[in-house]
Amino acid sequence: MNVTVIGTGYVGLVTGACLADAGNNVFCLDVDERKIGTLNENKIPIFEPGLEPIVRRNREAGRLRFSTEVAAGVAHGELQLIAVGTPPGGDGSADMKHVLEAARAIGRHMKGYKVIATKSTVPVGTADRIKGVLKEELSGKKPDLQFSVVSNPEFLKEGAAVEDFMRPDRIIIGADDERAIALLRRLYAPFQRNRERVIVMGVRSAELTKYAANSMLATRISFMNEVANLAEALGADVEEVRRGIGSDPRIGTDFLYAGAGYGGSCFPKDVKALQRTAGEAGRPLRLLAAVEAVNEAQKHVLFNKIENRFGNVKGKTFALWGLAFKANTDDMREAPSLALVADLVQAGAKVQAYDPVAGKNFQHEGVKVVPSALAALEGADALAIVTEWREFRSPDFSAIKARLKTPAIFDGRNLYDPAQLRELGIEYYPIGRKV
């Protein structure tokens, strides 16, 4: 199939590459000339495991093309997948400027039937707005041209996006036009050969499903962080509680890990946007307001533990392992590390930070980025861990103890066994664990 993907950010690039890898001819369109130039040099502007070789081999095979030529992009694909950014506005709502500009460009250049599918996370009612833009562009010039607007939200986890696309747990198609549904079923057929994964629903339901899914996951994280803080106060262990409740099949084990709060490009933005949508509809989501408040407070828990242990931290140096909001990504948006760094620097402390991917371009006053985990420990008073990178999971504890002025670890991801560290003579300050 000939497919055009508009936007070569995280969603667009993964989508375009994976569709090309299934044999489709994919035209990735972006107005950012620098980004397109980078991609045409086989350089990937984001860190995502497994993505680079897929892009390279499909470019070499001629199935994947990157261009800024709008008219050519619209002409290429009967399917036009909009995957541009929807950054949060000052009021928490999603900024729809890029989505509507993409729709307007399609209307301006289309010469035949098109299916316009939104993969971007967009507020409920966006499909109607896109239809209005298209009709406006076509009126007077090509009023008889037919098109369908559908919702086809993505459910990709950063750090596992290629795997998620290739082996999806569900494929949501929000549409009421059988021709459009048939085209999308054909597009996704290679990704659901062992069982049916397509769920067809109304357009507005599909738009809401994406926001509801991310908000539910954010709710589970904030709930477990609240339970962790309570467990700590009561002398319980949140890991034991997690196993106890996660064994209930109605609850399950996913997203029940306590920590330093969630971040990234999706959960914070989508929780805010859904609250905004709900408020405009006169149905405020009070639960999500609490989820957001809990998460913001949780980002400061590690600093509070550090301050409780050391008192005045002015003049002290802290090693920081991890900067990205989660492992296997370089995404720093809304990362819990940013809150910890800001708290430490504001209190007069210095930070020596290491992240195997996100550290390359990180800059912050009072922070020295170092090339290795052990280098971060040199001359540091204690260690804080914010990202669960694999290389942090089983470190050389004797080397840690030898390098730190105070053998203390403040663990925002609960990576270690409290009993083991106690035997090694290392002070351990996790989230909600019994130490």
266 is known as an active-site residue: yes
Set 6, 162, 231, 266: catalytic member: 266
Which token pair is 137? 């562009």
Q: Do 229 and 300 meet the contact criterion of CB atoms below 8 Å apart?
A: no
Give the distance, in angstroms, between the CA of residue 200 and the centroid of all CA atoms in the same chain: 25
Residues in the chain, overall count: 435
Beta bridge partners, 353, equal 320, 369
The whole-angstrom distance between residue 23's C-alpha and the CA centroid of its chain comes to: 27
Pairwise CA distance, residues 223 & 427, whole Å: 27
Kindly list the strands in the beta sheet with 198-201, ordered across the sheet, starting from the edge strand earlier in the chain.
64-67, 25-29, 2-6, 79-82, 114-118, 147-151, 171-174, 198-201
At position 203, the amino acid (one-letter code) is V
Please, where are the H alpha helices in 199-300?
203-234, 238-246, 267-280, 286-298
Which of 237-245's residues contact partners 24+ apart within 8 Å by CB, and which partners? 237/432, 237/433, 237/434, 238/414, 238/431, 238/432, 238/433, 239/414, 239/432, 239/433, 240/434
Q: What's the CA gap between 376 and 393, in Å, rounded?
A: 16
Q: Do residues 350 and 399 touch, judged by C-beta distance below 8 A?
A: no
User: Smallest Cα–Cα separation from 366: which of 408, 320, 308?
Assistant: 320
Structure tokens at 44: 């990937």
Q: Provide the strand spans (E) within 24-89.
A: 25-29, 64-67, 79-82
CA Rg, the chain, in Å?
Answer: 24
Which whole-number Å values give the CA distances from 355 to 122, 290, 389, 406, in the listed order? 32, 31, 8, 22
Q: Which helix (H) or strand (E) holds 137?
A: helix 126-138
Q: Would you name the residues annotated as active-site residues?
A: 266
